Amino acid sequence: MMGTLYEGSGRLRTAAVDTGPPGPGELQIAVAYCGLCGTDLHIVHGDMDARVRTPLVFGHEASGTVAAVGAGVQGWTAGDPLTVMPLIWDGTCSACLAGHQHICQNLVFVGIDSPGALQQRWNVPASIAVPLPDDLDLRTAALVEPAAVAVHDVRRSGLHVGDHAVVLGGGPIGVLIACVAREAGAHVMVAEIDESRRALVAALGFEVRDPAGTDLTAEVTSWTGGVGADVVFEVSGAAAAARATTALARVRGTIVVVAIHTAAREIDLQRVFWRELRLLGARVYQRSDFERAIEMLRRGVLPVPALISGVVPLSETATAVEDLSAGRAMKILVDVAGEGRA
């Protein structure tokens, strides 16, 4: 069986990998598709070399079917379609005991801290497998994990029907957040510097602005009738966007930090004080977010065709990473099974 491995210092290699049979309590997955995301780019760029153990099979946005069932696993049979919520928690830390297992203090993120989905056979604990409905195609199902991120972010924000939400960043997660927020009844504006992404967002029916070419604060103030946004989602990871958040939010508005900021950012705490703003972090997801994401994808609420720029075979993972890094694609799926289903 083949897999793509990160070997450190920005090097990728596609080669034979020996998965072995599933152990007790495990499922072996025949991986169909694996989406590539910003975290994967951080890995390949070497930003996470201090964390990952190489060689690492990475990837965590997966869909597939059960290939084999390990001892003691019940409720699964070969051929069942599934995805994976790639979080393993210890169940004993203070976060877990408080019911926040998804942000366990000793969290293992599968595909970063342990082998991931860019391999044709993948053994995972059955506890992190999530069943898929038979009528959800596996290509679409590869977007369950990023869609669950968006569901969690919007749920955490406390967004209400009729609220005005501003999404800073029109990449895949930003677009998904915009769609989930609209489905929740909000008015949504997306700010994005890339022209092609702005065109995609506009085609999906959203208000869209170029933060580099306009006064975004003035635009949001006008759009909200002088009030400001109820919720601001910072999804871009840019320093300028982080600085802008407090100027965009209304009195007692909410700022949700979604992006991974790899450096400390400047933020106007005077504005946070003066307007009694809420500043929230939103990290990964919970099981209910996965279930909601599956339901939304099944109903066709989320714009899968617009988000998927292409599908490549496993051997072209490195090229896909280059295209994503250069901004030449929105979302690329790897056809791990190699059956040419693009």
| CB distance 250 to 277 below 8 Å | no
Tokens of 260: 């991974």
CA 315/CA 148 separation, integer angstroms: 28
Cis peptide bond prior to 55, omega within 30° of 0: yes
Show Cβ contacts of residue 76 under 8 Å, excluding neighbours closer than 6 positions.
27, 66, 69, 82, 126, 129
Q: Which of 32, 39, 18 is nearest to 83 (CA)?
A: 32
CA 103/CA 109 separation, integer angstroms: 10
Question: 245-258 b/e with 16+ CB inside 10 Å = b?
Answer: bbbbbbeebbbbbb
Terminal CA-CA length for the chain: 20
Enumerate the active-site residues: 39, 42
Residue 298 CA from chain centroid, whole number: 18
CA 243/CA 150 separation, integer angstroms: 22
Write the secondary structure of 181-241 as one string of H (helix), E (strand) and C (coil).
Answer: HHHCCCEEEEECCCHHHHHHHHHCCCEEECCCCCCHHHHHHHHCCCCCEEEEEECCCCHHH
